[in-house]
Amino acid sequence: MAGLNALGKKVFFLYPPPVLSEIVDELARREFEVFLVRDHVRLRNVLKNNPEALVFIDIDDGLEEAAWARYIEELRNDPATAAVRIGIITLNDRPAEVKQTYLMDLQVACGFIVLKIGAAKTIEILVKTLEANEARGQRRFVRAICPPGVGTCVLEFEGVTLRAELSDLSSAGMTIHFEGTIYMKAGTVLRDLVLTVKGTRFNPSGFVVGVRADAGGRNVYVVMFAPESLDDTHREKLKTVVRYINQNAIDEALARS
């Protein structure tokens, strides 16, 4: 479990209402790994592979009140999902007995949040809840594993133009691999990179901080972006791209489950 927590925890919003979009975007900007899901049955299977996940359920949608209580109990009673932490969200200020069912009887760990209190207050509550549940783990930046074809990086190295494929990406850096034999030592400075991900182009500079072999025996280079080479707008776009890639991966996992 400690190893999982070091990498942070996935945060799922189940049947999120449209008003939650702005809030989720802000959580992603604060480097929480957030996902939107609209299938509670398939989510159960995904949660079995993410036993430390946090799930915020919109009880206004998807199921009737009593069925949501049973759903939470089923998650608790399944050893594969028993550690998943649940929170409740709703647009409606429910009667005290409804809140008591979730907070006292079901003992949801992530609270009961009424969204009509406003976006700023909701963000504040959610951030405190996620931090209390160590959602970031020991990481500082959310990373997206990049399937083949998702992103490329063109760079100049020793007078030669090289093209690399992205292996993963965050707002702070990336790992890349080349076709053929290329060797760069740690500390190599890479200026004026042309990074293209899902049709969005970035032009950061960076430096190699390490190299390792992947499962196929290729050298994979870990590159950190020079902070001054990305303004706030481009860094926010990077975070949006990372979230988009991760959401696609979860959508595919849901479709397979």
pLDDT tens column, 15-40 = 999 989 899 999 999 999 999 999 99
206 DSSP β-pair partners: 190, 225
pLDDT, tens digit, for every residue of 44-77? 999 999 999 999 999 999 999 899 999 999 999 9
Q: At 167, give phi and psi (nearest 5°).
A: -100, -40
Whether residue 163 is found in the same domain as residue 188: yes
Distances (CA, A) of 210 to 48, 50, 175: 33, 29, 9
Range of the domain at 124: 2-140
**In a domain? residue 118:** yes
CA distance 20 to 184: 44
Residues pairing with 174 in the sheet = 169, 223
Q: Any idea what DSSP says for residue 187?
A: T
Q: What is the pLDDT of residues 85-123, one digit of tens each?
A: 999 999 988 888 999 999 999 999 999 999 988 899 999
Are 66 and 182 found together in one domain? no
Which CATH number characterizes residue 192's domain?
A: 2.40.10.220
Among residues 19, 91, 15, 11, the alpha carbon closest in space to that of 57 is found at 15
pLDDT at 4 over 70: no
Query: What percent of the chain has a predicted confidence (pLDDT) above 70?
Result: 98
Residue 57 maps to a domain? yes
Does residue 14 sit in the same domain as residue 93?
yes
Output the 3-class SS for the chain: CHHHHHCCCCEEEECCCHHHHHHHHHHHHCCCCEEEECCHHHHHHHHCCCCCCEEEEECCCCCCHHHHHHHHHHHHHCCCCCCCEEEEEECCCCCHHHHHHHHHHCCCCCCEEEHHHCHHHHHHHHHHHHHHCCCCCCCCCCCEECCCCCEEEEEEECCEEEEEEEEEECCCEEEEEECCCCCCCCCCEECCCEEEECCEEECCCEEEEEEEECCCCCEEEEEEECHHHCCHHHHHHHHHHHHHHHHHHHHHHHHHC
Of 97, 124, 140, the position where a domain reaches its end is 140
Are both 195 and 222 inside the same structural domain? yes
- The first and second tokens of residue 189, run together, are 């400075």
pTM attached to this predicted model: 0.92
Residue 195 lies in a domain: yes
Q: Nearest-CA neighbor of 179 among 159, 160, 164, 194?
A: 164
Task: Encode pLDDT of 183-223 as tens digits.
Answer: 899 999 999 899 999 889 999 999 999 998 777 777 899 99
CB 188 within 8 A of CB 173: no
pLDDT of residue 1: 38
Beta bridge pairs of residue 154: 163, 194
**Is 110 within the bounds of a domain?**
yes
Burial (0-12, 13-18, 19+ Cβ within 10 Å), 236: middle
Q: What was the pLDDT predicted at 217?
A: 74
Do 33 and 97 fall into the same domain? yes
Cα separation, 76 vs 88, whole angstroms: 15
Inside any domain, residue 159: yes
User: Based on the domain organization, do 90 and 165 belong to the same domain?
Assistant: no
* Segment 124-179, tens digit of pLDDT: 999 999 999 999 988 899 999 999 999 999 999 988 999 999 999 999 999 999 98
Number of domains in the chain: 2
pLDDT of 2: 40
